[in-house]
Amino acid sequence: MDMSLFVRYGPQILVGLKYTVVIWVIGSIFAILLGFLLGFALSFGNRSMALLLRGYVEFFRGTPLLAQLFLLYYGGPSVGITLDASTVGLLGLGLYGSAYFAEIFRAGFASIPRSQFEAAASFGIPKLAQLRYVTLPQIFVLVIPPSTNLLIVLLKDTAVLSILTVPELTFQVTGMTIETFVFIEPFVALAAVYWTLTELVAFLGRRLEVRVGRYLQP
Amino acid sequence: MTQIADAEAALPAEPDLIEVSHLSKWYGTHQVLKDVSFAVKPSEVVCIIGPSGSGKSTLLRCVNFLEDFQQGSVTVRGKTVDYTTWRSGEGARDMRSNINQIRREVAMVFQQFNLWPHMTVLENVAQPLVLVHGNDRRQARERALHMLEKVGLTAKADEYPIRLSGGQQQRVGIARALAVEPAAILFDEPTSSLDPELVGEVLQVMKGLAREGMTMVVVTHEMHFAAEVADRVIFLDDGAKAEEGVPSEILLNSRNERTRRFLQTWVERNSLFGENSLRSAQK
């Protein structure tokens, strides 16, 4: 195995890693925020709004990420939206992820038993305070396992952005293999890097789950 | 002597704390409560008994509007919520404000306890004080601790509800209700989801409250409790009030066919006329 290859391409790989992490972090935050709003509106909004948002969720869940990215990147300019590849990648990942987060949060809202709100209502606790003190603290615990799962999926899905020429990790490593005709080592290393990152996310998710979910353990 | 008697006679009749008047409720076309009226005076303990599905819990839940109804009214300490007029569209805002005020004055204890699982025992008791009654955190904490002492659960203050037995959870439920200094407490089958050996500790706490003069409306299947503690018993049958009176009258000498039949099945199940008969439970 030729390690000098990695030394020579080291700086490029680090740039790629930076792009991957930044796009994943910002895209995920965007996805979580939008997904929360969508999940909330799907749970409590009126019928016509819920129907509209349901259409949004179904589209982004039901079509490939790559197709959505192409639509945004190549179709965008024809409706006056011209964005560079990285922005499209970030935005695309966020929109795509938000559809899944919407479902995670919707399920979270649905899983809190009515009886808990009845108890709150019986004391005259207002609706907004019920949301703040009864619903949200539990939602944030309940959504941790599925959210960890989704964040791992989104992290791996950033690799798709290489097709749009976003200079992220997979793009850099692919370029390296084309230049050097060495394939095995770079792709093994690439897989190892993704795996390390996803294990880290999984570990943090489990830690958080145990920490804030103490009330669920008898 | 006569002077005292005169003074008593001169006192105005004690006003009702809770008054339910001609309450009717439908699910679709099916009428589940039929023109039910009853009143509760301060410090009274009223037990509502009746067969399963007779509408006891639904009636109780109407008193603090966890269920809505279509006709009739509920009045608590002079605040009235009249669904008959609300239905015709008048004074919706006043109604809502009255509902909120009544809920502040009438606390509830639930069959399934309905504690908030993500809060410690102490937080469960303190939360309504902070959110509704304007206590600061420290005040609420102190009062909550005091209430937990009252139900014998000081040691569990920092535990989460999931670690408590059903009986302990229900005592927390009672402490939570007591903490807001309610004018009355509604008990919705407070012992029905408890293992038999845990029923006693909850009834013990409730008896203590009754002795202290707490106004209580209790939906229950515990006939011994009704016989021993209630000032009045209401027998509900198929959504209608079939009978109302002092426990000895209803539980032992009812003239109502339905009441007698209901109590008969209960007697057979619990061999009521052994050592612990209702008669000996009578105060």
The string of pLDDT tens digits covering residues A100-113 is: 999 999 999 999 99
Rounded to the nearest 10 degrees, the angle between the axes of helix B137-150 and helix B121-131 is 130
Q: How far apart are CA B39 and CA B46, in angstroms?
A: 9
The percent of residues above 90 in pLDDT, for chain B, comes to: 62
Confidence of residue B11 (pLDDT cuts 50, 70, 90): low
pLDDT of residue B275 exceeding 50, the answer is no
Mean pLDDT of B185-203: 92
The whole-chain average pLDDT of chain B stands at 87
pLDDT of residue B8 exceeding 80, the answer is no
Chain B residue with the nearest C-alpha to that of A125? B132
Q: Do B131 and A133 touch (CB under 8 A)?
A: yes
Q: What is the dihedral of CA A94, A100, A106, A112, to 10 degrees?
A: -110
Per-residue DSSP letter, A166: -
The whole-chain average pLDDT of chain A stands at 92
Phi, psi of B108 (to 5 degrees): -135, 145
- For B101-148, write each residue's pLDDT tens digit: 999 999 999 999 999 999 999 999 999 999 998 889 999 999 999 999
Q: Do B114 and A119 touch (CB under 8 A)?
A: yes
Q: How far apart are CA A191 and CA A199, in angstroms?
A: 12
The rounded Cα B93 to chain-centroid distance in angstroms is 27
* Residue B70, token pair as written in the block: 């279509």
Residue matched to tokens 């000081």: B154
Mean pLDDT of B10-16: 70
Q: How far apart are CA A7 and CA A16, in angstroms?
A: 15
Q: How far apart are CA B75 and CA B39, in angstroms?
A: 9
Q: Do A124 and B116 touch (CB under 8 A)?
A: no
Confidence of residue B263 (pLDDT cuts 50, 70, 90): confident
* Chain A residues lying within 8 Å of B132, measured CB to CB: 123-125
Residue matched to tokens 């009235």: B80
Cβ burial B185-200 (10 Å sphere, 16+ → b, else e): bbbbbbbeebeeebbe
Mean pLDDT of A69-95: 91
Q: A4-216: which CATH number, 3.30.43.10, 3.40.1280.10, 3.30.2130.10, 1.10.3720.10?
A: 1.10.3720.10
Least confident of A3-7, A153-157, B195-199: A3-7
Q: How many CB atoms lie within 10 A of CB B48?
A: 29
Provide CB contacts within 8 A for B95, sequence distance 6+: B81, B82, B86
Residue matched to tokens 């009226």: B37
Q: How far apart are CA A31 and CA A38, in angstroms?
A: 10
Say what the pLDDT of residue A179 is.
86
pLDDT of residue A119 exceeding 80, the answer is yes
Chain B residue with the nearest C-alpha to that of A116? B114
Which residue, among B116, B121, B132, B174, would best test binding to A if mutated, counting the most A CBs under 10 Å from its CB?
A: B116
Residue matched to tokens 């409590």: A44
Say what the pLDDT of residue A184 is.
86
Say what the pLDDT of residue B283 is.
45
Say what the pLDDT of residue B271 is.
56
Confidence of residue B172 (pLDDT cuts 50, 70, 90): very high
Which residue, among A117, A122, A140, A215, would best test binding to B if mutated, counting the most B CBs under 10 Å from its CB?
A: A122
Rounded to a whole number of angstroms, the distance from the CA of A122 to the nearest CA of chain B is 6
Domain boundaries along the sequence of chain A: 4-216
Out of B103, B114, B161, closest to residue A124 by CB? B103
* Residue A184, token pair as written in the block: 């095995």
* Chain B residues lying within 8 Å of A217, measured CB to CB: 162
A135 and A113 Cβ atoms separated by less than 8 Å: no
Say what the pLDDT of residue B36 is.
95
The percent of residues above 70 in pLDDT, for chain A, comes to: 99
Mean pLDDT of B256-277: 70
